[in-house]
Structures are given as structure tokens and as C-alpha cells.
Structure 1
């Protein structure tokens, strides 16, 4: 480009000699022709570069085109499970997809309406692509059986790379659509139902059982393995959960490194966020003649001695304390059973996680918890229209706390002190010991 500019500016030089001027004019004429040719070449080069960028690239060398019958596969899936009558009846469908057919079809329709990616589209040749049914069937097979992505190609006729994208979008859609409803904290009606359910078992004021579960992370990056490796062999991620007698998981907090214990997880958990912000449902119950205003969770020995936890008695002495320890340890198995059913339904969270990024793993675990609750809600046989609107109990954020006046701040700290009261914890446990023993004698 500098050569072109130099040639242009040479005509600006003035010559005193006429012969030299005439000779230079002839040379300038030649130079103009050279410049024009150079400019033409530059324009051609720019046009070629632009055309090369716009041109569609060829297939990767060695790539094999698999003639998948996507349309025929969709018809086969419909004939197997959704025709009237289907090849495989409702019992087969329940066993292979972990839920009833009506709930499955509802999920397919709502996921398709939520994300345009799941709608059937035509490719550049006008050939119809996979339907939402095929995409959701493949995703559920991966969750239910924990199989690698490539193995579902034979079931839904979708390539590995395509199925990876579908699966990631599916678990994200499940969380976005159903998270507010099926991962909600207990509202007023839920709290009343939980209190009545557990009072019948002898534990007045109990809201559920709390514990942690580890999910092994097979493809944890080497730089993080030390942080994510704890008492369980290999790197893991922790799920903290609260479950009820019917195995509904009311609280799910997932993603912390496996090197932490229950206390470390609890300190980072939002379990008591509503209680400390003053937006939790009001609660009042009486045990052994003493009144309490905060619910509690059954926990194992690692949890702190707070008023919101009831733990067993190590080495109990006397029939009363032995009976209490037996009852506490039996009822606390609710959360253990919930973990077992969750892993039995979705083998993906029973085996090691094969994904690389933490965000995808979080969406997988959260989606499995949501689907677990959806199955319980669909199959428990209760004809109740639950009210999920909780706009009046919105959880306050950190910014809300910073704007609070000193009076409200003192109230906030007072709630924290009540939660962590060792005296209330000991008194509540002693009252439950007496209450359960009196109940045992009456029976």
C-alpha cells in the first residue's frame, strides 16, 4: 500500500527542466497504469476473501454421514408407548420412565412450549427433524439409566453431539419451569400439613429430617480434586436436603465441595433464610407443657445443638432415653429413604458424574430433585388444590438487610440467637423424651 501512495505523490514534484518534465510525464503515465493494476488486484483479493468467508465449509474430512431414520424412529416410539393400544403397557412405561404416561406427556408439552429448541423443525433440505417427544425420551433415558449419551442413539436416532445439547437444555428447562413450584419452601398450608403428619408420629413441631449426600465427580478437573475430595473416595459434590415422611424434598442445596462436612454446608445453606428474615410461616406448639414457636429438624450427631435441630442421645441411659433415641433414629431415616429413592429413580445421580462443568452438574441434580417431587405429587393420590402463591412471604436479600433500621436489625440478630440457643435445644429434647415415653405408656 505504501508503494501505491508513493507512486501517487510523485506527480507532485516540480521540475525546472522541460525535457525532464516530459520524460517524467511519460513515466507517470506508466505509473498510473501500474497503480490501476495494483488497485484492481487488491479489490479482487478482498472480494475473494469475502466470498471465502461467506462460502459454506465442506464436511470434515473422514466424517461419516449416518442415514438415521428420525421420522421412522418417532413413529416407532409412538407405537411402543403412546398409541392406543401401545405395544408396552403402562406398567412398562412406569418402570422405564419412572413416572406415569400422563405426567410424562405434560412435561413434553410444557418443555416444548417453554423452549423453542424442542419444537420440530425442517433442515435446509426441508426434511423434518426430531420431535419434542424424541428429545425428551432420550433425556429421560439418560437420567433414568445413567447411560452415556452415545447409547441413546439407537433409541431416538440422534447423534451424540446433538443429544448433549438436548440434554443440557432439557434439565435447564425443567428447573426454569417447575423450580418455583416443586422446590418451594413450605408455605402456611404446607407447614400445617407437616406439623399434623409428624405430630401423629410423636414429634410435635417437626418439619422434616435433614442430611447430606455425596455425588462422585468422575471428571473433576485435576486442579480441583484436592478441594472436592473428602472422606468419600474421590472428588464429590454435596447435596443438603430436608425430606418429609412421604419423601418430598422440601429443601435442596447442592454444589459445595466434598471436603466439607455437614456443619460447613449448613453455614452456607439458605435453610433458615426465611426464618431469620421474619417471613417464615408462624408456628406454635406445646410439648410436655412447654410452648415453642420455631419448628425443628431431626438431625444426626454432627449438626450443632441449636433449637432448630433435635439429635439423638449418644449412649442413652434409662428406658426413656433409649426409647427416644430409637424413635428419633427411626423417623430421621425419612431423608435417607428420600436419597435412596432419588438414586433408584435416576441412576445418573447414583453413578459418578461424567460432566466437566459445575453448572451442568448442578442443573442435573436440581432437575432430578424436581422430577422426584413431581412424581410423588402425581402418585400420592391426594385430591388437593395446593396454593403455591407465596408473594406475601418473599425472602429478603442482603441489600434489604443493609437498608433496615436499627430496630429491625436487632430483631434479626435476636432470631439468630434463638436459632442457635443451646438451652432451648436441650429443653426441647428433654420434653420430647418425656412426651414420647408418655405416648409409649399410653399405647
Structure 2
């Protein structure tokens, strides 16, 4: 017809505004001049491209160099052999198929989809397993995830560390009280007694909050995963969450070496301050 079509910049802005601000697809019409259906299509294509192009690099499992750095930082913080902290986050699903209400409704009393993640001291997310219904607890999701696939296949980097003169070769993650009594997961003592047990529980709880802080920063940067999900199909929801995790890791990598203080809301809706140091890119909560 001789009319100019939408330029790629309009589609990119429409997709990024939906991810960053959590607005619906028809809310970008006035600012970008793009229809709701086209904005939703742009979002689907954008997150799919992010996953396909950058997924292998920014959602990779720790290699030899990464493992050595994580082990060194874990030992410095008092936990030799630790690779990170594990926890789950629920993303409320607004436009879910009504027939799935019971399957996806858990303790939040609303249908949700769960993200299982492992985060390190710098809030880099090394493992993201998304898609399980909200009716499952953390143990059920752990049994279904691929967190220990490389360990069981024998392809994971070997580790070796010493605690009180004893050598160990099993890496581990810090978890909360719901996780099972496995050698690969270190939990806090339920009812600590004595100064040694009380100190260990306090240190374990402080370091374990890395993954909760990662969830807070992820939701602060991408409001689409903080509010109820409006998309109805699971494949698009999976690409959106995965793309947000990938771009979160991109920002972590890009901001290393810069200092900043930002206001964020954690996954419980509580406001807090995050200070990022200039030397290691670490985030410290005030």
C-alpha cells in the first residue's frame, strides 16, 4: 500500500517496556504508537531471541574457572565447598486456564508457576528451573529439576576442600529448612543449642539470603515477573522468565566495577536498599 511499517526500534521499545515496567501490551500504544497484538508479538519474539542467542553463555553451569572462584569466595565467607544458595520463587499466574486452578494453586492461595534458582554471592543466577505448578513444594521441584544432572553424569568440575583437617569432594548449596538431608545441601540447625550451633545457624541464614536477594533484584529490574502474569500460554511465560534471568546476569556482568545504591522491593514487597561495591560488583543489603 506504500505505507511505512513499524521500525524495529518501536518493537524493541514495546517489548522492553513490558518487561521493565510490567505494563500490558495495550499500554504501550500511546507512547510507542504500536497496537496491542503487535506489541505482544514483539515481546514473544524478543524473549525468544534472547533465550536462543544468549542462553548458552548467561545460563551456563559453572565451569572450572567459575567453580574455583565460587569456592574461594565460599571459603572466605566461612563455607568451604559452597557454590551458592538455592530457593524457589512463585510467579502468580493471572490468566491461567480455569481447569488448572487446583493444579497451580499452592500456599499463596493463587495459581502460580515456580522458579527454582541457585545464586552466588554476586547475585549471579547459575541455575534457573522454571515451569513447575505452584502446588508443588521446594522438595517436589528439586526432585524434578536438573540441578544435579552434571554431578550424577560425572561431567561437573571436580572440587576438593578441607574442613577441620578432613578432605571432601562434594560441593553443596545452602538451603532453608524444607530441603532434604542431603550431602549436597547444607541447612541450618532447626533448634540450635550452644554457642557453636547458634553461630553456625546465624552465619548460614545470612549467607543463604543471597538467592533471596537475587530474586529481589530480578523483580526490581523486571516488573513483569513481580506482578501477576497476564500471558496465558506456558511457553511464552517460560521464555519471559528465562530472558529476564539472562538479562539479569548480563547486568551483573556489566555493572561489575561500578558502585551504586538503588531502592528495590524484595519478593515479599518490602523495600530495601542495595549497595553495589566498586571492587567486586557485590550487592550488600542495608
**TM-score, with normalisation over the residues of structure 1?**
0.58
Partner of 1:53: none
Partner of 1:176: 52
Partner of 1:67: none
1:364 to 232, 236, 240: 240
* Higher relative contact order (CA closer than 8 Å, sequence separation 6+): 2
State the Cα deviation string for residues 97-123 of structure 1 (Å, max 9, x = none).
Answer: xxxxxxxxxxxxxxxxxxxxxxxxxxx
The structure whose residues are more often helix, as a share, is: 1
2:196 to 307, 313, 320: 320
SS of 2:170's partner is coil
The structure with the largest alpha-carbon Rg is 1
Alpha-carbon distance in 2 for matches of 1:359, 1:242: 22
Structure 2 unaligned blocks of 5 or more: 259-286
Partner of 1:282: 158
Please tell me whether residue 306 in structure 1 is matched to residue 211 in structure 2. Answer: no
State the Cα deviation string for residues 208-259 of structure 1 (Å, max 9, x = none).
Answer: 0000000000111111010000111210000000000110000000000000
Matches within 5 A, 1:36-435: 124-125=1-2, 127-381=3-257
Alpha-carbon distance in 1 for matches of 2:35, 2:94: 23
SS of 2:51's partner is helix
Moved more, 150-159 or 309-318: 150-159
Structure 1 unaligned blocks of 5 or more: 1-123, 383-443
The structure whose residues are more often strand, as a share, is: 2
Asked if 1 retains the 8 angstrom alpha-carbon contact of 2:15 and 2:40, the reply is no
RMSD value over aligned CA atoms? 1.0
Matched positions, count: 258
SS of 2:173's partner is strand
Asked if 1 retains the 8 angstrom alpha-carbon contact of 2:139 and 2:178, the reply is yes
Alpha-carbon distance in 2 for matches of 1:128, 1:280: 52
